[in-house]
Amino acid sequence: MEVLLPFCGDLPAPYSQWATIAELFFLDFTKYRQRIKKKKKYVNLEEADNQTIDRYRNEVAYLNKLQQHSDKIIRLYDYEIMDQYIYMVMECGNTDLNSWLKKKKSINPWERKSYWKNMLEAVHTIHQHGIVHSDLKPANFLIVDGMLKLIDFGIANQMQPDTTSIVKDSQVGTVNYMPPEAIKDMSSRRENGKSKSKCCLIRDPKQRISIPELLVHPYVQIQIHAGTASLKIAHY
């Protein structure tokens, strides 16, 4: 069982006076106001199977590993893993990208390009550290103060140091957002995307455009003119 408890506040100081993170979950944080929003995540492992337990442990391990490397990864402020429970204090977002897209009637060019760049930067970071997320999709990008941050590392995998790609025996993740080479039946897929999206859908990973190449593509270059509030955005 997983319980998410959002709150806005800072942890009591000195932090060391509290024996465990678990004890913090039963405190009233409302008087410790701060601009950063945090989310308390409590997971009961008593009735969880081994696969579920491994997913939660994976999430903690990968988030902890990536904290210092990118602000496009959701913040994990602290955690405690016990035999039957996991306690996590995490960054709290405004909404996820999937929910945001459903509510938007139109998306302005700045939002589209900015969020696309945020996603590229997040994925580039995890790949640099040998991590394959395995479930990249809009619902797993959280909007935090106008910036996208990657969440949910439960089914992520660590690549071996000498490995450049992973081919899985079974399909893992959300079908609509899997990489082309991971989907067995591609016959019904429509080829009606624009050139910038088509280059991301080439089935052979060796021929497909890379994330570093996408990060320097003119499409994501947003230039702010000095002394003005206008944005120079190339349209493709």
210 phi-psi bin (left φ>0, alpha ψ -120 to 50, beta other): beta
Nearest alpha-carbon partner for 133 in 156, 159, 164, 154: 156
Cα 158 to Cα 133: distance, rounded to the nearest angstrom = 9
**Which of 10, 71, 78, 135 is flagged as catalytic?**
135
Q: Kindly state the tokens that stand for 38.
A: 């945090």
229 phi-psi bin (left φ>0, alpha ψ -120 to 50, beta other): alpha
135 is catalytic: yes
SS3 letters for 85-113? EEEEEEECCCEEHHHHHHHCCCCCHHHHH
Sign of CA dihedral 200, 157, 75, 213: negative
Q: What is the CA radius of gyration of the chain?
A: 20
Burial class of 53 by CB neighbour count within 10 A (0 to 12, 13 to 18, 19+): middle
Give the active site residues.
135
